[in-house]
């Protein structure tokens, strides 16, 4: 835990006349590891690359030489593959979903692993709590969504698919068209990115908060009990985060599938 | 790496994405997507399809084997039934033949017995006749001799002699009948 490390170094406790180093936005900003031509390379980027290597490495060792009777690693990989292919692509998009499985699977495992990094010792930071990473993925989903909408329906049909709802009373048409446009073209990509980012941001903040407080309050006084409670909460939040990390990766992937499905649908 | 900017450091608006991170994120994602989409997922999908085929093929082969086994069993049963039938038929035939042979033998025995008895009877009859004739001649000669001597007169005439003997014998027979 970065905050904890700092606290441990600084030995900042409540009885040492030290103000509580409350976590904040600064907890999400890192000194560059190195700088190349004015471009700063930071820890979240390193973690994203490590996640990429782990995802590729895992599925490479599981799937590169597949056997008819799978080994343990291949079996685990197949469970992951079937989860995306059947529970997300198959259930949401249907038969056409088969060709989007690689996209959805890359999103899910990349996002999930970046989320998990929040509770992995030494990493202790979810790259997805830096807004740029969810934005990058949401942007890809949005581009795919738009591309498929216009590819399936043509320009006119695509626009209609995005803003039009059949059978509206005439006075409502301008309002609904405006709302539909805002929802499909502006809100969808924005909320997709913000939902993931905010969840991981808040989760990291909570864990840092309770960990920092536990360390800050560890003193030879009754406050040690409060410190113990804070530590328990930090542990509890960590366990809870495991669930959130999976859930957010799942929701992100599920929504991507729903958008793709909406783009492929005949008029709605 | 484990440290963050000190509290005094500038804190950006967290909702403004950093360009470098955006680029790193996109590159990392495209590498994952490329390797999974181009190489790994088609490979595993192929394997899954092959496995499906293998399982279905295995089931099909098992079905075939089952059908064949059933067919063989039917054939075997049919053959067995036929063999049983044949055996029963042969047994029945043998029994019939045996009965026929016994009946024939019995008949043959009866016939032989009858023949033997008849032959015996005929022989006895012939003997009796022969004896009768011989006796008759002997008795006749004796009687004639006796009568000739008694009467003192040679009764040479054969016809008379014969008549006298016959009459004599008939009287003897009648006496014998009466005595019985």
ipTM: 0.90
Domain that holds residue A165: 2-264
Interchain CB contact of B150 with A (< 8 Å): no
- B43/A127 touch (CB, cutoff 8 Å), yes or no: no
- A68/B54 touch (CB, cutoff 8 Å), yes or no: yes
How many structural domains is chain A composed of? 1
Interchain CB contact of A55 with B (< 8 Å): yes
Distances (CA, A) of A21 to A3, A27, A216: 8, 10, 8
* Best A24, A135, A256 residue to mutate vs chain B (most B CBs within 10 Å): A135
Instruction: Tell me the percentage of chain A whose pLDDT exceeds 90.
Output: 69
Residues 3-32 of A with CB under 8 A from B: 3, 5-6, 21, 24-31
**Scanning every residue of chain B, which has its alpha carbon at the shortest distance from the alpha carbon of A32?**
B1
DSSP per-residue string spanning chain A: -HHHHHHHHHT--GGGT-------GGGG-B--SEEETTEEE-HHHHHHHHHHHHHHHHHHHHHSS--SS--HHHHHHHHHHHIIIIIIIIIII-GGGGGGHHHHHHHHHHHHHHHHGGGSTTT---GGGSTHHHHHHHHHHHHHHHHHHHHHHHHHHHHHHHH--TT--GGGHHHHHHHHHIIIIIIHHHHHHHHHHHHHHHHHHHHHHHHHHHHHH-SSSTHHHHHHHHHHHHHHHHHHHHHHHHHHHHHHHHHHHHHHHHHHSS--
- A45/B15 touch (CB, cutoff 8 Å), yes or no: no
A-B C-beta contacts closer than 8 Å: 146
**Scanning every residue of chain B, which has its alpha carbon at the shortest distance from the alpha carbon of A49?**
B28
pLDDT at B32: 95
pLDDT at B115: 93
Nearest to A31 among B3, B29, B32 (CB): B3
pTM of structure = 0.71
Instruction: Give me the helices (H) in chain B, please.
Output: 19-34, 41-151, 158-179
* Best A52, A197, A211 residue to mutate vs chain B (most B CBs within 10 Å): A52
Nearest to A48 among B15, B28, B33 (CB): B28
Q: How far is A158 from chain B (nearest CA, A)?
A: 26
**Scanning every residue of chain B, which has its alpha carbon at the shortest distance from the alpha carbon of A25?**
B11
> Based on the number of CB atoms within 10 Å of its own CB, is A159 exposed (0-12), middle (13-18) or buried (19 or more)?
middle
Round the average pLDDT of chain A to a whole number and report it.
90
Eight-class DSSP state of B149: H
Eight-class DSSP state of B137: H
pLDDT in tens, A131-164: 999 999 999 999 999 999 999 999 998 998 888 8
Residues 32-51 of B with CB under 8 A from A: 32-33, 35-37, 39-41, 43-44, 46-48, 50-51
Interchain CB contact of B55 with A (< 8 Å): no
**Range A244-249 average pLDDT:** 97
Nearest to A60 among B15, B40, B48 (CB): B40
pLDDT in tens, A20-72: 888 888 888 888 898 988 888 999 999 999 999 999 999 999 999 998 888 99
- B3/A6 touch (CB, cutoff 8 Å), yes or no: yes
In order along its 180 residues, chain B shows pLDDT tens digits of 334 444 444 557 888 898 999 999 999 999 999 999 999 999 999 999 999 888 888 888 899 999 999 999 999 999 999 999 999 999 999 999 999 999 999 999 999 999 999 999 999 999 888 888 888 888 888 777 777 766 655 556 777 778 878 888 888 888 888 877
Contacts of A106 in chain B (CB under 8 A): 29, 32-33, 36-37
**Scanning every residue of chain A, which has its alpha carbon at the shortest distance from the alpha carbon of B2?**
A2
């Amino acid at each position: 835990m970065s905050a904890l490390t700092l606290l441990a170094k600084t030995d900042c406790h409540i009885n040492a006349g030290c103000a509580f180093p409350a976590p904040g936005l600064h907890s999400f900003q890192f000194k560059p590891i190195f700088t190349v031509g004015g471009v700063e390379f930071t820890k979240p980027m390193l973690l994203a690359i490590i996640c990429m290597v782990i995802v590729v490495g895992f599925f490479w060792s599981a799937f590169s030489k597949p056997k008819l009777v799978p080994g343990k690693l291949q079996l685990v990989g197949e469970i992951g593959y079937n989860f995306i292919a059947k529970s997300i692509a198959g259930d949401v998009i249907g038969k056409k979903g088969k060709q989007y499985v690689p996209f959805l699977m890359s999103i899910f495992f990349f996002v999930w692993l970046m989320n998990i990094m929040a509770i992995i010792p030494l990493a202790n930071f979810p790259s997805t709590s830096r807004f740029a990473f969810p934005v990058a993925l949401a942007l890809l989903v949005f581009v795919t969504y738009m591309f498929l909408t216009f590819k399936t329906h043509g320009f006119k049909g695509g626009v209609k698919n995005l803003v039009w709802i059949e059978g509206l009373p005439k006075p409502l048409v301008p309002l609904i068209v405006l709302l539909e446009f805002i929802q499909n073209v502006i809100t969808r990509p924005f909320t997709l990115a913000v939902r993931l980012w905010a969840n991981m941001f808040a989760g990291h903040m909570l864990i840092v908060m309770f960990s920092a407080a536990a360390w800050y309050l560890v003193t030879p006084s009754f406050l040690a009990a409060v410190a113990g409670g804070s530590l328990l909460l930090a542990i509890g939040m960590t366990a809870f985060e495991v669930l959130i990390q999976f859930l957010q990766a799942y929701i992100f992937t599920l929504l991507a599938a729903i958008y793709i499905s909406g783009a492929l649908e005949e008029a709605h | 790496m484990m440290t963050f900017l000190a509290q005094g450091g500038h804190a950006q608006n967290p909702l403004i994405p950093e360009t470098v991170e955006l680029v790193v994120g996109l590159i990392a994602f495209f590498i994952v997507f490329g390797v999974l989409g181009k190489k790994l997922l088609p490979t595993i999908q192929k394997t899954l399809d092959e496995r499906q085929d293998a399982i279905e093929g295995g089931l099909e082969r098992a079905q075939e084997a089952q059908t064949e086994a059933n067919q063989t069993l039917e054939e075997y049963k049919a053959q067995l039934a036929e063999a049983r039938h044949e055996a029963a038929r042969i047994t029945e035939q043998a029994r019939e033949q045996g009965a026929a042979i016994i009946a024939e033998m019995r008949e043959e025995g009866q016939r032989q017995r009858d023949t033997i008895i008849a032959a015996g009877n005929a022989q006895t009859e012939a003997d009796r006749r022969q004896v009768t004739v011989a006796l008759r001649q002997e008795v006749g000669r004796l009687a004639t001799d006796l009568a000739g001597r008694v009467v003192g007169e040679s009764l040479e005439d054969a016809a008379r002699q014969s008549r006298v003997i016959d009459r004599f014998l008939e009287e003897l027979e009648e006496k014998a009948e009466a005595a019985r």
